[in-house]
Structure 1
Amino acid sequence: MSRRQLLVLALLLASQFMLAVDFSILNVALPTVGAGLGFTPANLQWIATSFALCAAGFTLLFGRIGDYVGRRRMFLIGMAALGIASLVGGLATTPAMLLAARVAQGLATAAVTPAGLSLLTTSFPEGPLRSRALGLNSVMMSTGFTAGAILGGVLTDLLSWRWAFLVNVPVAAIVLVLAPMLLTDSADRERSPLDVPGAILVTSGLLALVFGVTRAGELGWSDGWAVLSLVAAVVLLGTFWRTEGRHTHPLVPTAILRRRTIGWGNVAGFVTFATESSLVFLLTLYLQHVLHLNPLQTGLTLGGLGLGAILGGMAGPRVIAAAGVRRTLAGGLIVQAAFTALLVLLGTAAGWVWVVAGVAFLGAIGHVCVIVGFMVAATSGLPDHEQGLATGLATMTQQVGVAMGVPLMSAVATAAGSLEALGSLRVAIGVNAVVVAVTAVLVGTQLRAEPAAVTEVEESVPATV
């Protein structure tokens, strides 16, 4: 990489890391935040839900808008909005003020993440440099989620929950100073009219889907609003798919989704993000309610996830070069499933904390190999002017997976008894492992025909990183 490419990479990776941290940094601090601002127990979950709804629901739309107005401009606008929203959240004095800040953070994340990933893919040509950059980006996404839990515990215990917001402000300011000097938007902008009906349908459908699953995870599948939201999501997304096939300038050309690498790559990405984020949630409950660790000890125990993610990000391009995208996706999912399944044996003795740390470390290697393969498959073989669409789809997969994983596994554990009971947590962990294993089989058998562009990427990835 040239010196300029290294600087661009460092800037974009720092931005993606910060965005990933925001997904989990408040998880361990929610009770403290609620007590400090006067949230009722019933409304406390909206601190997390409001962010996840907006981050997942608007990602595809904002990714496509970036194709029209410019990814660099969208990145800068979103980063400025994120800094302002984080400042408002850190200074919040009422529940309404905090929730407004979380909504704004979610919208900013939906704008910055696909724009940043588009700038990353268009800054490096297909081949070894892009694969290396995507591998490092995968490390940042995975370790950011884990680091958020650790950082949230540290800041809450040592300073205040407000620093979970305020820590974003100086980072956003630095990015806003450096980005105009380093980033260029080399891709041609989309000139066709924006598919407004499609944008409304897919955004509404995603919002209904995430809200319905979240509601079901909290109140059960018999909740009326959960059922109504899920039915609405099916209708809206089904209508979106039908109308896109007939639209002259669709928001998402259905032909792209029919490509095996993009379709099955996004399936693998969705499952690995949903199951790994929910596994972190389940292990957090286990460590705090069964082994009675405090938030800081819990975060440090799960720190092995970050180390495993670094090794997975380094190994991912090498595995793709040696085995191909299909085998990398299927093999990484098998590794993740195998080590997740071992956690079904968890007990009440204090020594199990070392098992959790070791298994989390090893499982994370497979998890991030899947993310690298997913990102290569989802962004290869497309012209630069469609990178906003491709990265918007990939980012939507990531955001929706993270947003839906926790409530889905919460619903499984609750159906089995209680979120605080060891037996219920074992059941949820077992279901988690089965879902990953089934996906590995499907990806391994269905993702057969790979476009020449992806094959060329595999052949050109160097054997070392």
Structure 2
Amino acid sequence: MSSATSRNILALIGVCLASLLFGLEISSVPVVLSKLKDVLGADFRDLQWIMNAYTIACTTVLMATGTLADRFGRKRVMAITTITFGVASLLCGLSSSAGALIAARFLQGLAGGAMFTCSVAVLSHQFQDGKARGRAFVAWSVISGIGLGFGPAIGGLIVALADWQWVFLVHVPLAMIALLFIGAGVTESRDPEAGQLDLAGIITLSLAVFGFSYLITQDGELGGGLRMAIGLASLLAFGAFLWAERVSSHPMFDFSVFRIRPFSGAIMGGIGMNFSYWPFIIYLPIYFSSGLGYDATTTGTLLLAYTIPFMLMPPMAEFIRARFGARVAIPLGLLTLGVGFLAMRVGAGAEAASWKTLLPGTLIAGVGIGLTNSPTTNTTTGSVSADRAGMASGIDISARLITLAINIAVFGLLLVKGIHAYLEAALGTSIDESQLRAAAERIAGGDLSALASHVTGATPSTTLAHDALVHGFGWLMLYGGLGAIVLAMLSFTIFGSGTVRQEAARPCTDTP
């Protein structure tokens, strides 16, 4: 084996490990959220921010990382971000309060998003031969998918065998191992003509995403005037972002690509997946644990039914795309995803609801996400010229993560509103409105004892809280299902009457 081949293998191992870490931090953490409620005293909003801090941070660095890596060296930037990810994971595991964990998660998201972006650039340069590059990206995609697909089970197993901290601490030695392989295998590369950072675009977009997420997440705590002020500031930040991208000589987003119908139709696929499937995985463990009474290990195992089809369906998805075009493949995937959510709602509403009644819906939703993901990625990059593929991929991933961040907040708001509506109908005026709102938030976080001091009579308070929780989750499943179906129709319409067939698929990512 030649030295170049050996270096390429070492580089591939290091990059794949880094991408595995990125995926695990998205899908393994939801399983331990209920544990964090007890050990850190985290309330429902804290739990939302523990997840969303990571996602929002990722969006702030995606487009900037490519420029920094091109200018200062792709190997150097990836090594720095891998070290930072390990340090941030250590800080997460050592956190003694919800606030400290949220701050550490934000740092972890900054490093994770940058690390993930660097991995694409490193592999593209490291493997110059087309066939070798294709094989490398297939291996990278599979490992990334394992991180996302098996994350819930891995998180549940860790909680069963050790303390919750190890869900984060396990990434420290893994990051060190990845760093060793990156150092030994990756060849340094730069772009002498690298563009300048679009600081105005980065700052305004980050402020807009954070503002909208904060507005939705903190809805119950904000007065009317403050709510209006934050909403207006977020809109102004987004308007400033649009203006900055129009006047910048090095914009993050070239909005002219949205005139390309296949690109815009495919973007609906990325938005649709993160409108329903990925934000719901944050809350589904609460339903399994508090709604159905399963422990963390069982919950993690059950979540495999939700995620495994995502890993198994790409070959079928690419066959459909090659045979019928992206105009059929992407809307079909979103439609299947929507049907899965509606089936979950039926299963959750069954009189003797259990994992068995929920299983058909979770499997169908997983099939839907698997049918949607790779055609979306391949179409967004394949519908533009080769020199704009990186920018198109950046817009695709950014659209996904921005939609994810906002919908994590929306799902939390809907869950609380659904529980609140059920309690209000059941209790009437027997409980003060502020206490009712507080109880709804506690129940949304899985605390079924929230009504113990407020309910008297034949119906136990835990039964009422349980029924309210199930009712709230019904709202989430309905929202996710109908939203995916609407976006499927919108995608089909945007594509137009022609079909899009990308026979030679580009390497795809398994980003949420």
Distance (whole Å) between structure 1 residues aligned to residue 42 and residue 472 of structure 2: 28
CA shift digits 1:77-118 (9 cap, x unpaired): 211100111122223345554343222101101211222234
Instruction: Answer yes or no: is 1:161 the counterpart of 2:209.
Output: no
Instruction: Answer yes or no: is 1:446 the counterpart of 2:494.
Output: yes
1:180 pairs, out of 160, 171, 183, with: 183
Instruction: Answer yes or no: is 1:23 the counterpart of 2:26.
Output: yes
Alpha-carbon deviation of 1:54? 1.4
Alpha-carbon deviation of 1:122? 5.7
2:473 pairs, out of 420, 425, 436, with: 425
Alpha-carbon deviation of 1:201? 1.9
2:401 pairs, out of 387, 399, 402, with: 399
CA shift digits 1:97-150 (9 cap, x unpaired): 434322210110121122223444566789988777767666655653453333
Find the structure with the greater CA-based Rg: 2
Amino acid at match of 1:400: I
Instruction: Answer yes or no: is 1:101 the counterpart of 2:104.
Output: yes
Structure 2 equivalent of residue 361 of structure 1: 363
The residue matched to 1:459 in structure 2 has which SS? coil
Q: TM-score, normalised by structure 1?
A: 0.84
Relative to structure 1, the CA distance from residue 408 to residue 80 in structure 2 (aligned partners, 3 Å threshold; closer, same or farther) is same
Structure 2 equivalent of residue 58 of structure 1: 61
Structure 2 equivalent of residue 416 of structure 1: 418
Distance (whole Å) between structure 2 residues aligned to residue 128 and residue 322 of structure 1: 23
Distance (whole Å) between structure 2 residues aligned to residue 278 and residue 425 of structure 1: 13
Alpha-carbon deviation of 1:167? 0.9
Relative to structure 1, the CA distance from residue 460 to residue 377 in structure 2 (aligned partners, 3 Å threshold; closer, same or farther) is closer
- The percent identity for this pair of structures is 22
CA RMSD of aligned residues (A): 3.5
Distance (whole Å) between structure 2 residues aligned to residue 355 and residue 377 of structure 1: 35
- 2:211–2:231 Cα contact (<8 Å) kept: yes
Distance (whole Å) between structure 2 residues aligned to residue 316 and residue 127 of structure 1: 23
- 1:57–1:206 Cα contact (<8 Å) kept: no
Distance (whole Å) between structure 2 residues aligned to residue 333 and residue 251 of structure 1: 28
Amino acid at match of 1:444: F
Alpha-carbon deviation of 1:18? 1.7
Relative to structure 1, the CA distance from residue 373 to residue 336 in structure 2 (aligned partners, 3 Å threshold; closer, same or farther) is same
Instruction: Answer yes or no: is 1:372 the counterpart of 2:416.
Output: no
Relative to structure 1, the CA distance from residue 266 to residue 63 in structure 2 (aligned partners, 3 Å threshold; closer, same or farther) is farther
Distance (whole Å) between structure 2 residues aligned to residue 291 and residue 350 of structure 1: 10
- 2:150–2:308 Cα contact (<8 Å) kept: no
Q: How does 1:106-255 map to 2 (within 5 A)?
A: 106-120=109-123, 144-184=147-187, 188=191, 190-216=193-219, 219=220, 227-255=228-256
Structure 1 equivalent of residue 330 of structure 2: 329
Relative to structure 1, the CA distance from residue 223 to residue 436 in structure 2 (aligned partners, 3 Å threshold; closer, same or farther) is farther
CA shift digits 1:270-321 (9 cap, x unpaired): 2212310233345333322322112221111121123212211232322222
Unaligned runs of 5+ in 1: none
Distance (whole Å) between structure 1 residues aligned to residue 135 and residue 229 of structure 2: 44
Relative to structure 1, the CA distance from residue 224 to residue 214 in structure 2 (aligned partners, 3 Å threshold; closer, same or farther) is farther
Structure 2 equivalent of residue 276 of structure 1: 277
Relative to structure 1, the CA distance from residue 132 to residue 307 in structure 2 (aligned partners, 3 Å threshold; closer, same or farther) is farther
CA shift digits 1:212-262 (9 cap, x unpaired): 33334xx38976655543432222222221232233332322223443333
- 1:261–1:447 Cα contact (<8 Å) kept: yes
Distance (whole Å) between structure 2 residues aligned to residue 450 and residue 181 of structure 1: 48
- 1:341–1:430 Cα contact (<8 Å) kept: yes
Instruction: Answer yes or no: is 1:289 the counterpart of 2:290.
Output: yes
CA shift digits 1:390-419 (9 cap, x unpaired): 333233223223322232122223333344
The residue matched to 1:326 in structure 2 has which SS? helix
Instruction: Answer yes or no: is 1:437 the counterpart of 2:485.
Output: yes
Distance (whole Å) between structure 1 residues aligned to residue 363 and residue 79 of structure 2: 35
CA shift digits 1:359-388 (9 cap, x unpaired): 322321220221101211233366776555
Amino acid at match of 1:421: L
CA shift digits 1:307-356 (9 cap, x unpaired): 21221123232222222222221111111112221122123555631232
Relative to structure 1, the CA distance from residue 80 to residue 258 in structure 2 (aligned partners, 3 Å threshold; closer, same or farther) is farther
Amino acid at match of 1:198: G
Amino acid at match of 1:370: T
The residue matched to 1:292 in structure 2 has which SS? coil
Alpha-carbon deviation of 1:448? 3.7
Identify which range, 37-46 or 248-257, moves more after superposition: 37-46
Distance (whole Å) between structure 2 residues aligned to residue 368 and residue 223 of structure 1: 42
Identify which range, 334-343 or 402-411, moves more after superposition: 402-411
Structure 1 equivalent of residue 431 of structure 2: none
Relative to structure 1, the CA distance from residue 410 to residue 94 in structure 2 (aligned partners, 3 Å threshold; closer, same or farther) is closer
Distance (whole Å) between structure 1 residues aligned to residue 267 and residue 222 of structure 2: 26
- 1:8–1:182 Cα contact (<8 Å) kept: yes
Alpha-carbon deviation of 1:61? 3.0
- 2:64–2:198 Cα contact (<8 Å) kept: no
- 1:326–1:443 Cα contact (<8 Å) kept: yes
Alpha-carbon deviation of 1:207? 2.5
Structure 1 equivalent of residue 458 of structure 2: none
Identify which range, 118-127 or 236-245, moves more after superposition: 118-127
